[in-house]
Each structure stands twice: as structure tokens, then as C-alpha cells.
Amino acid sequence: MSETLLPRAAATPIVIVGHVDHGKSTLIGRLLHDTDSLPEGRVAQIIESSRKRGLQVEWSFLLDSLQIERDQGVTVDSTRIPFHLGTRQFVIVDAPGHRQFLRNMITGAADAEAAVLVIDAAEGAQEQTRRHAMLLRLIGIRHVIVLMNKVDLLDYDAERIAACERATGALLDKLGITAALFVPASAREGDNIAARSERMAWYTGPTLTEALDAVPAPSSRADLPLRLPVQDVYRFDNRRYVVGRIERGRVRVGDPLVIGSHGTVARVAAIESWHTAPQISAVAGQSVALVLEPDVIPDRGDLLHPPGDAPVRAARIRTRLFWLRQEPLRVGESLRLRLSTAEHAVTVVSIDSVVKLDDLTEHPSDHVPPEGFAEITLAASEAILFDPFLPGTTDGRGVLVDRHQRIVGGAPLIGPAQIAEGARAIHPTGSTLSPWDRAQARGHRGAVFWLTGLSGSGKSTLARGAETALFAEGIDVAVLDGDTLRAGLCADLGFSDADRRENIRRAASVARIMAETGQVVIVALISPLAADRAMAREIVGEGFEDVFVDTSLDQCEARDPKGLYAAARAGRITGFTGIDAPYEPPANPDLRLATGAEATGETIARLVRHITGAVVLADAARRRS
């Protein structure tokens, strides 16, 4: 049945979600067949396709219109299918179940009024079941029907089916989702889809079609205060036209409107249209071209609204997040927030909580993992106009994109974020260049190699030698050594335990910033305590390696290039590492350099080989060889 026969605007959108292979495509094919919603001849095509493959009637072939889907056996994109029950019209959204296609579900299910969560009653809830349930919560689906599919594999056993219902109900309860109904069914056999199953006389509830028919109709967006995001501004014949789609509310000629970004009030002089008579009014869902008086010029993304009913204006925003990128999201990263036709540069200023998927509990974290759910706070350099996320509307439906305009996260906006009393309004900003972009450009990753060892062990000598050799190989490298830092950045620090720890903290923080820009950083610090080195590793994060310059105290004291050991033995220096202060060697360093066992040049070469092996990309390594 063509989509033109069932206008999408008048239909109730229903999204169907579930773990891969739990039967979504089969369910939709059966549903369309059993309600006589298929075009003439389509059933014969399905029967013939199934026969050629030696199968029974395979209803999922209805949706597998892309060859890649048949080859892989999974649905790869969101498919919208017109569907009807009596006189009521629906649009079924078949959302992907395989984890690599979750990105498509965010957009596919965004406007759904209700959801059917398909669960294999024999297998129960799986990882993607939890992810999809989280997404239903994220995008605000209020009406959820759980279809416990494949009950024929349980021989229609009431007790085993009830156990699946209890487990699924408990899962949804953790997410604050109350299922409207649990329907035991077999999509392949047609049990409780459009007709009541004779094999489950114990079930007295509605069939799936009866449950769908009971889904509340979409609420009218026309009754809400006007929101008109500006798509563009055109000029023809000395008249300026402000063009956009009315997201909610209505507008009439003569209405005053506020230009959101600067607060100017203008009057609607005309609502123009081409090839038809001029309009007097327009409502939600319509695209319009307004002529304003005075002739103000909004920007693309500007939000037009009534003078007495403004949206929220905030520069710090609380956001729910589903993170799609395969690298973690960390505080300080800069992205772009796409909100209707507007785009805003934003920075992640805090990760407030992350959902642990195995038990759906929330906990603090310093990053959001790939395909992770979290609540975060975003900050912009200027105020953003928005309406907090409201299920059933387009309000607050933000999306995060990277500098290549790739969607990296679904981000409904919850509301403004308040700065806690006494807190500092610090907005760390991160580059829109990803570590991978920089690595591809340079041929190597950024990383920190932390050289630890006694005074006089040769740390700075090895670091500077490696720096020269690496630079000659085209690697962007820098050295941070203790004396250099104490001559500048750490000149205000002494040698107390607290000051030494602060010296290491500063060095690690600077090294992390440099590594994030794609540089290889070699840090040469005594850093005698294991706890302080652990702190440095935590600050730097991924890409930190500790290198133990293993030189005995006797060797170091024999060298004594700065005369420090002699001064310590004479009592002129106190708290000197190795004499009257401890040194804790790394238990399991990433690299151990025993400087007394080989010539200095050979040790430098070993360090250089270790670093290049860790940071140089495979393609670049082949070119070097």
C-alpha cells in the first residue's frame, strides 16, 4: 500500500524495536498480511521467495528490500510502513536491532507515539533489549507494548511465558517505564497478532492489533505556543522572506513575533505562498514564508516565538545522552549541538552520571563509553534558546555532531543547568579535531612516556637522545624534564611531599594537553612514589606508559653530575631520594631500561623502538620501512 494513500501527517507513528533475531521483521510482515494491508500480489511474491529458499512463508522478506539485509540477515535501517486498522491510520517504524545500526534508531523512532518492544520469550531480554529500552526512555516514548514473541518455542506454556513477563517488567521498572500491556504471541504462526490464539485459552487480554488500536492518538501541536525555527532568509523583488517549518503552535497575519537571538519584535505582514492565494494563517507542520515588518533579518537557526511565551534561554544545559562514537566522550570535548535548524558550539563541562547497562544503575564516571547512556552538562559561549524535552513533540530534541557533521550522539535537552553555590563557572574547551584526525595527519598517535628513576640515572640524557632520533623520523615529539619545569611552570614549588606531588600533577596535566594535540611527550621526572605515578597515569589516561630507568644507587652516586649526592651525604640537602627519602621502583613498568648493561646509544635506540612501535600507525610504519 503506497504511502500517498495513507498520509503520514494523519497517521499515528508506532516504532517496533527489539534484539536482533527476536522477530521484528517477521512480526511486521505477519501484521500487514493479517490486517489485509499488503498490495495485491505481494503475498504471492513472499511465498515464491520462501519456496526458492526451501523455507516456510518468511514474512520478514517484506522488509528486507535491501540486498545487504538479506545477505547479513539483519535490518540495517529504519523503515517506515503505512498501515491501517479499520479507519485508523498508522506509520510503523521498523527500527534496527543490531548494535552497529543503533544510530539509525535515534532518528527512526524520534517521532513515535508508542512502541512495541519485541522479546523472544524463550531467550528473554538481551543486551540490545536493554539498549532499546533505554532509547525509548531517552526519546520519551510513553506508551510501550511488550510483545513476547516465539511463544510456540515454549509450547505456549503459561508459567514460562509469565516468567518472561516478570523479568521484562522488572527491567522496565528500573528505567521508569511502565508497560501498557504484555502480549504473548507467535508472529510466525499468527498467534495473538490479529486473531486470538486458540492455543492460549488462558490469555484473555487483547491481541496486538487491539492493543495498537487503543494507543492514544497524537496530541495536537497546534495548541502549543508558537515555535518557528528559521531555515533561511530569501530576497525577491525587494521583499525579504523568512522561511521555516512551524514546529508547534499557529501564526496569523498581524501577529507580533520575537526574533529570539536579539529580542527584536516584528509583525507578520504576510504569509506568502507560490501558485496559490496568500494565506491568512498557518499551523504546526506547515512550511511557511513570512514577510516581517519592520524588515528585520533573522539568522538561520533563529527561533521565532510569541512575545508573551518565550522558550528557555541558557548557556549551560542539562542533557540526556546516547553516545554513538567508538571513542569515549570526556569532559572538555567540544562538539556542535544541532537543534532543529540551529547549530551551536558546545563543550562538555561535566559528566553527571553514566548508566551501567548490566543492571541499569547510574554511577559517576569521568567518561561516557561507546554506545553509553549518560546525563551530561553542556556549555555554550552564548545563550541557546530551547524548550525542554517533551515526549510527543519536537521540543528539545538535540543531536551532537562532530566537525565532519557526523552524528555522534542523541541529546535531548532536559533544562538549564545551575552553577552550584561556591562553584567556579569553568568551561574547559576541547578541539573539534579528534585524536584520530591528528594521528592520520601525522602518521602517529599522541602519547606520554613517563621516565622514572633515581637522580643521575640518565633520564634526561635518554629523553633528549630519543627526542632527536624521533624528530629525525618525522615524529612530533617534546620533552618535559624536572629541572626545566622547576625553572618555569613549577618555580613556586619547594621539595616538601605536597610540593613534589603538585609538581607531578602539573607535569602530567601539561603532558596530557600536549598528547591530546597529537604529540609524543617524554617526561623525565624522578617521581619516586608509586602513588604519584599512579596519579599521573590517571590524569593522562589512555596513551600513558611508564619507563623505568633502572640504574643502581651506587652508579648514580658515582656519576653525581650535579653534586647532589655529595651534598646529601654531607647533610646540606635533606629529604633526598635514595639517601634519606624512599624511591619505589615500578613493579611492572611498560619498559625497563637498565642503563649500566649497555652503551647509552643502544639504550636510546631501544627507547626509540619502543616509542615508535607504540605510536606509529601501521600504514606509516610500512612507508618508513
Would you name the residues annotated as active-site residues?
527
Phi, psi of 343 (to 5 degrees): -130, 135
Phi, psi of 380 (to 5 degrees): -120, 160
Paired with 281 in beta bridges are 252
DSSP letter string, 479-546: EEEHHHHHHTTTTT--SSHHHHHHHHHHHHHHHHHHHHTT-EEEEE-----HHHHHHHHHHH-TTEEE
What's 400's DSSP letter? E
What's 163's DSSP letter? H
- 3-class DSSP state for residue 612? helix
Q: Which one, of 154, 94, 93, lies nearest residue 124 by Cα?
A: 154
What are the strands, taking DSSP E only, across 86-227?
Answer: 88-94, 114-120, 143-149, 181-184
Residue 3's CB is within 10 A of a number of other CB atoms, namely 12
- 3-class DSSP state for residue 558? helix
Q: Which residues of 199-210 are buried (b: 16+ CB within 10 A; e: fewer)?
A: ebeebeebbbbe
C-alpha cell recorded at residue 512: 596530557
d(CA 608, CA 57): 63
d(CA 245, CA 254): 18
Handedness of CA 297, 302, 306, 311 (dihedral sign): negative
Residues with Cβ < 8 Å from 146, sequence gap 6 or more? 116, 117, 119, 165, 168, 172, 179, 181, 182, 183
Rg (CA), the chain: 32
d(CA 32, CA 39): 10
Assess contact for 181 and 146: CB atoms under 8 A: yes
For residue 394, give Cα distances in angstroms to 107, 172, 176. 12, 24, 21
In the block, residue with C-alpha cell 618555569: 488
Within 13 Å, how many C-alpha atoms sit on residue 140's CB side?
18
Q: Which residues of 455-486 are buried (b: 16+ CB within 10 A; e: fewer)?
A: bbbbbbbbbebbbebbeeeebbbbbbbbeebe
For residue 520, give Cα distances in angstroms to 62, 123, 516, 539, 586. 54, 48, 9, 16, 21
Handedness of CA 352, 354, 360, 361 (dihedral sign): negative
